[in-house]
Amino acid sequence: MYAQLVDTGVKRITPLAEMSEQERTFQEKIDSEIKIEAKNWMPDAYRQTLIRQISQHAHSEIVGMLPEGNWVTRAPTLKRKLQLMAKIQDEAGHGLYLYSAMETLGADRDEEIAKLHSGRAKYSSIFNYPTLNWADMGAVGWLVDGAAIVNQVVLQRTSYGPYARAMVRICKEESFHQRQGYEILLTMMREGNQAQRDMVQDAIDRLWWPALMMFGPSDEHSPNSAQSMAWKIKRQSNDELRQRFIDQTIPQLELLGCTCPDPELKWNAERGHYDFGQIQWQEFYEVLKGNGPCNQERLETRRKAIDDGAWVRAAAVAHAQKKANKNAA
């Protein structure tokens, strides 16, 4: 998920009977699937949880431009270069939608970005992994955007209207990116040479487990999920979504002719699902804490962009002010 671990700040879920009149009206609205809109009353914890989740999601879109930006100058054909540029542009656009959705909750974009840069706000753990060969551009599209879509399709029904609507628009573009990513891999596997097929398998080996981690901690270690589910911010559990992703992705992996870097992966006819091996949760928490392979570089790049650009933003403001003064005179 683009927002993997969102603190709700709530220790236990309040039963309806203990709620104030206002809280009860709100919860009843949620229960009858009526969308919450910007001007509606909402509990402060609901507002804060959404600000954390949507900003984390927006930050992920922006930081997520960097692993792909690493290859945009090295894309091997004009067609692939154009596709990658279009995709990166879409991601910047998704960041914009999401910051706007977040601002309907009264949060300020610059303040939330400052939190990201000081390490107080998170972004998806997946973008802390390096992109080391061209096949990573295919694997990121297929696996990473694929995992994001499984999460985001559900979020189209999230209880907060502006967030749900942003997801509808974003999902359309993400599905396109995912197909494009898969097509990159398919071309390399079917029409490429042995070196290219090795690149594809290498990319899958490196990105498979990090992609599974995008769904967040397992349900038993997901203390904030219950409240997020009660508010219908989340609609399905981390483990349910992860299972759905694996079930739909393995046949695609087989069609590529690649293998999964999980020796325990096996179809379970009884469950009607794939069984899979243990996720390295230690690694997941370390990456989220800032100790992953690229955490420092990603944040440094983003901080530098904003710091180096301060004079540009100041100039734009000063010029707009001059123009306004001239018009007023």
Partner 1 sequence: MNPVNDLITPLLRLGDSALIQGQRLCEWCGRAPVLEEELALMNVGLDLVGQARNWLDYAAELLADGRDADHLAFRRDERAYRNLLLVEQPNGDFAVTLLKQFFYDAWHLETLKGLSQSADERMAGIAAKALKEVTYHLRRSSEWVERLGDGTEESHQRMLQAIPRLWRFTGELVEQHATEIELHRAGLRADPAQVAEAWRASVESLFARATLPVPEAPSHFYLDARRGLHTEHLGPLLAEMQFLPRAYPDAVW
Binding region for partner 1 (CB under 8 A): 62, 65-66, 68-69, 72-82, 85-86, 88-89, 92-93, 95-96, 99, 134, 184, 187-188, 191-193, 195-196, 301-302, 304-306, 308-316, 318-319, 322
* Measured distance CA(304)–CA(260) in Å, rounded: 37
What is the nearest approach in angstroms of partner 1 to the Cβ of residue 74? 6
Strand boundaries in 94-238, DSSP class E: none
Measured CA distances, 101 to 27, 107, 108, 187 (Å): 21, 10, 11, 37
CB of 325 to partner 1, least distance (A): 12
Q: Which CB, 32 or 311, lies closer to partner 1?
A: 311
Closer to partner 1 by Cβ: residue 14 or 196: 196
Residue with Cβ nearer partner 1 (52 or 302): 302
- How distant, in Å, are the alpha carbons of 29, 37, 45, 60 from that of 32? 5, 15, 20, 31
User: Cβ closer to partner 1: 78 or 329?
Assistant: 78
Helices and strands, number each (H, E), in the chain: 14, 2
Least distance (Å) from partner 1 to the CB of residue 77?
5
Q: Smallest distance, Å, CB 5 to partner 1?
A: 24
**Residue 35 vs 303, nearer CB to partner 1:** 303
What is the rounded distance in angstroms from the CA atom of residue 74 to the CA atom of residue 148? 25
Nearer of residues 264 and 300 to partner 1, judged by Cβ: 300
Smallest distance from partner 1 to CB 50, Å: 20
Residue 126 CA to residue 144 CA, distance in Å, equals: 8
How many Å apart are CA 178 and CA 133, to the nearest integer?
18
Q: Fill in the amino acid letter for 305.
A: A
Question: Least distance (Å) from partner 1 to the CB of residue 47?
Answer: 23
Cβ pair 77, 188 in contact under 8 A: no
Q: Quick check: 101 and 54 in contact, CB under 8 A?
A: yes
Nearest CA among 30, 226, 234, 211 for reference residue 152: 234
The minimum distance between CB 132 and partner 1, in angstroms, equals 13
Q: Which CB, 183 or 205, lies closer to partner 1?
A: 183
